[in-house]
Structure 1
Amino acid sequence: MSTRWTDLVNARLPRAVLLPGATYHGRIDLVAIDLVLAGKRLPSTLDDDHKLYAIVNRPGTTEAKARALSLASRTVARYTPAVEDTEGGPP
């Protein structure tokens, strides 16, 4: 039985509909995450749940996210979901 990291993040959040233009997803402040990833706010303002949400759900390279969140790149890589093969062919 494998658990995807997106399942882990969503399990911590209440069931909420994420509408376009929303500023919160459950208790996760999406604006605060975007400000930290843009380098306009210190990463210490985010708790672990916010950082995990940023790793899993925000675009960007592993190194850029690690630098913006003040985490090791290995930590970010560990929690980044694997890209699924959409070709449908053998690995």
Structure 2
Amino acid sequence: MLNPIENVFSVFKSAVKDFMTECRAEIIAVPPGTTMKAHRQRFLIEAAETLSPKLRLRSCVRRATATRSDSTSRWRRSKTC
């Protein structure tokens, strides 16, 4: 992947999926008077609020640096022909 934000977003999505798996029993038990959609949305918001602070600038920079160095090495290899 050449877009570093895709890498960061992929890590975030994976963390949200893990969070939702851990809360599965609570998610399935929809309280009376609440729609399933609204109940699930509450858990998604909680996951985002809990996990987004964990995405630090360092994580973004690390992935961007790895992407840049990978694309640079590909460019150099293509120019050696």
Which category describes the TM-score, using the shorter chain as reference length? under 0.3
Kindly name which structure, 1 or 2, has the bigger radius of gyration based on alpha carbons.
2
Report which of the two has the higher share of strand: 1
Report which of the two has the higher share of helix: 2
Q: TM-score scaled to structure 1, two decimals? A: 0.24
- Indicate the structure whose relative CO is greater, using CA pairs within 8 Å and at least 6 residues apart: 2
